């Protein structure tokens, strides 16, 4: 790939975009990345995409209704997450940002687990070892180093597990991400860096993060980078599988740039109308990740209306379960503040817990702690 520099601007040659399923639902072949799928598998992929979008929509609604304090929607990124999520084996680890609800779904994490932190009852709290899905990481890019360290551990153990590190276009500017690239490269760690370039880091476009296509950065670190159509679930699946196989075979890290679009706001606290134009959104609607799979299934006659209705019904069931689950999520006991600060305890934490308990008891049930002066 050549980069020409003229008059202070860098212009990259048009980057290649790996695509196996067009926005119109037409299956196309790629010279480097092939994929065999059965009709059953395609229906299962479609189901994942629909359920994940429905869950995400329900969480947005719950935030609007005051049941969640915040929600970071994945709308538009379902294919990137379901494709890369389904490429993983159970022994593989995923290190997510705070938006990888679709990856969590594919790993078998109960969606309700993801909502605790957005409701404010915990900071995550699930057991990462249960589904090999690390806790959400809010500070941008930090988890890429954890993923790399974990992958270094896999090498030491001599197993053929691998790791997927998720991050975004904004995170690509972080030192930690670049250090993760360096460590992964020099230790040849079995990690796949999966960058969802959704074009926007809150209000800043990708041009504010980079002057070269992000996947090209990998070359400077000494490992391959691939740009994939992030709204094409089949391409994301195929390319992630390929990268994971490389990792398992001792061929080291890979950078995948999933070229996609954040259809919603950064979070429910954001207002994208202040910084981007509606036309852009309309353009990306035509590349919807779910519609193209549906069109493919219909064209091939691998699914009928009964199937689509059943998936819709299941998604409504999921939404109901999520809604009830969130509403019934109890607030934590105040003394939980002092829980799990240390694995082996700490005298000051014990002392302050005891002081709080005594203080709370002094109200003697006459009024709630915190309501008094």
Partner 1 sequence: MAAENYSMVKALNEALRRSLEADPKTLVMGEDVGRLGGVFRVTDGLHKDFGDARIIDTPLAESGIMGTAIGLALRGYRPVVEIQFDGFVYPAFDQIVTQLAKMHARALGHVKLPITVRIPFGGGIGAVEHHSESHEAYFAHTAGLKVVSPSNPVDAHWMLRQAIASDDPVIFLEPKRRYWDKGVVDPLGEAPAPLHSARVARPGRDLTLIAYGPMVKVCLEAAEAAAEDGHQIEVVDLRSLSPVDFDTLEASVKRTGRAVVVHEAPVFMGMGSELAARITERCFYSLEAPVLRVGGYFAPYPPSRVEETYLPDLDRVLDAVDRALAF
- Catalytically active residues, by annotation: 262, 266, 275
Smallest distance, partner 1 to C-beta of residue 280, A = 33
Binding flag, residue 123, partner 1 (CB under 8 A): yes
Based on CB atoms, which residue is closest to partner 1, 255 or 319? Answer: 255
Among 151, 195, 263, 290, binds partner 1 (CB under 8 A): 151
Q: Is 245 exposed, middle or buried (0-12, 13-18, 19+ CB in 10 A)?
A: middle
Smallest distance, partner 1 to C-beta of residue 342, A = 5
Report the C-alpha gap between 297 and 307 in whole angstroms: 10
Q: Is 187 exposed, middle or buried (0-12, 13-18, 19+ CB in 10 A)?
A: middle
Are 201 and 208 contacting, i.e. CB atoms less than 8 angstroms apart? yes
Binding flag, residue 154, partner 1 (CB under 8 A): yes
Based on CB atoms, which residue is closest to partner 1, 180 or 228? Answer: 180
Select from 17-25, 120-128, 207-215, 224-232 the region that touches partner 1 (CB under 8 A). Answer: 120-128
Among 31, 66, 175, 370, binds partner 1 (CB under 8 A): 175
Query: Rule CB under 8 A: which of 267-326 touch partner 1?
Result: none
Q: Closest by alpha carbon to 164, among 225, 53, 89?
A: 89
Binding flag, residue 152, partner 1 (CB under 8 A): yes
Smallest distance, partner 1 to C-beta of residue 148, A = 5
CA 197 to each of CA 15, 88, 343, 372: distance values in angstroms, whole numbers, following the listed order = 14, 20, 37, 49
Among 349, 353, 356, 360, binds partner 1 (CB under 8 A): 349
Based on CB atoms, which residue is closest to partner 1, 12 or 121? Answer: 121
Query: Rule CB under 8 A: which of 186-225 touch partner 1?
Result: 186
Select from 77-85, 171-179, 237-245, 360-368 the region that touches partner 1 (CB under 8 A). Answer: 171-179
Binding flag, residue 28, partner 1 (CB under 8 A): no
Q: Which helix (H) or strand (E) holds 44?
A: helix 39-64
Binding flag, residue 179, partner 1 (CB under 8 A): yes
Based on CB atoms, which residue is closest to partner 1, 57 or 222? Answer: 222
Among 208, 211, 285, 346, binds partner 1 (CB under 8 A): 346
Q: Which tokens belong to 46?
A: 């479609």
The vertex-71 CA angle with 67 and 75, nearest 5°, equals 125
Among 25, 149, 222, 224, binds partner 1 (CB under 8 A): 149
Supply the DSSP string of 262-330, one letter for each residue.
Answer: --S-SSTT--GGGTS-HHHHHHHHTT-HHHHHHHHHHHTT---HHHHHHHHHHHHHHHHHHHHHHHTPP
Select from 1-9, 134-142, 250-258, 259-267 the region that touches partner 1 (CB under 8 A). Answer: 134-142
Smallest distance, partner 1 to C-beta of residue 368, A = 24
Report the C-alpha gap between 48 and 40 in whole angstroms: 12
Binding flag, residue 88, partner 1 (CB under 8 A): no
The vertex-118 CA angle with 351 and 62, nearest 5°, equals 140
Based on CB atoms, which residue is closest to partner 1, 151 or 326? Answer: 151
Report the C-alpha gap between 151 and 196 in whole angstroms: 20
For the stretch 255-270, what's the b/e string if a residue is b when 16 or more beta carbons lie within 10 angstroms of its beta carbon?
A: bbbbbbbbbbbbbbeb
Smallest distance, partner 1 to C-beta of residue 135, A = 6
Helix axes 233-248, 39-64, angle to 10 degrees: 100
Q: Closest by alpha carbon to 14, among 25, 28, 4, 24?
A: 4
Among 4, 38, 347, 371, binds partner 1 (CB under 8 A): 347
Q: Which tokens belong to 218?
A: 């990998």
Based on CB atoms, which residue is closest to partner 1, 42 or 154? Answer: 154
The beta-strand segments (E) located in the chain are 3-6, 9-12, 93-95, 163-168, 191-197, 200-201, 204-205, 225-229, 254-259
Smallest distance, partner 1 to C-beta of residue 149, A = 2
Based on CB atoms, which residue is closest to partner 1, 97 or 199? Answer: 97
Q: Which residues bind partner 1 (CB under 8 A)?
A: 122-129, 134-135, 137, 139, 142, 144-154, 156-157, 175-176, 179-180, 182-183, 186, 339-344, 346-349
């Amino acid at each position: 790939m050549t980069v020409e520099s003229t008059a202070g601007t860098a212009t990259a040659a048009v980057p290649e975009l790996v695509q196996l399923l067009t926005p119109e639902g037409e299956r196309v072949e790629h010279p480097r990345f092939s994929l065999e799928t059965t009709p059953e598998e395609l229906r299962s992929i479609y189901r994942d995409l629909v359920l994940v979008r429905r869950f995400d929509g329900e969480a947005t609604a719950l935030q609007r209704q005051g049941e969640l304090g915040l929600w970071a929607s994945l709308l538009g990124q379902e294919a990137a997450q379901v494709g890369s999520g389904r490429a993983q084996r159970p022994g593989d680890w995923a290190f997510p940002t705070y938006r990888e609800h679709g990856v969590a779904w594919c790993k078998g994490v109960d969606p309700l687990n993801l909502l605790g932190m957005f409701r404010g009852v915990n900071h995550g709290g699930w057991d990462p070892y249960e589904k090999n899905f690390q806790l959400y990481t809010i500070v941008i890019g930090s988890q890429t180093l954890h993923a790399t360290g974990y992958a270094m551990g896999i090498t030491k153990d001599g197993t053929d597990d691998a790791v997927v590190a998720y991050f975004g276009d904004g995170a690509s500017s972080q030192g930690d991400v670049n250090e993760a690239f360096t460590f992964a490269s020099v230790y040849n760690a079995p990690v796949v860096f999966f960058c969802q370039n959704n074009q926007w880091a809150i209000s800043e476009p990708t041009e504010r993060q980079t002057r070269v296509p992000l996947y090209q950065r990998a070359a400077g670190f000494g490992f391959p980078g691939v740009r994939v159509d992030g709204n094409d679930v089949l391409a994301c699946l195929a390319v992630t599988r390929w990268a994971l196989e490389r990792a398992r075979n001792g061929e080291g890290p890979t950078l995948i740039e999933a070229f996609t679009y954040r259809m919603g706001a950064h979070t429910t606290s954001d207002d994208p109308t202040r910084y981007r134009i509606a036309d852009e959104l309309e353009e990306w609607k035509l590349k919807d990740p779910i519609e193209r799979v549906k069109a493919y299934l219909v064209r091939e006659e691998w699914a009928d209306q009964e199937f689509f209705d059943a998936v819709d019904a299941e998604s409504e069931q999921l939404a109901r379960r999520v809604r009830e689950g969130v509403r019934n999520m109890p607030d934590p006991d105040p003394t939980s503040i002092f829980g799990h600060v240390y694995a082996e305890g700490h005298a000051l934490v014990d002392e302050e817990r005891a002081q709080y308990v005594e203080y709370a008891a002094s109200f003697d049930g006459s009024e709630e702690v915190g309501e008094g002066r």
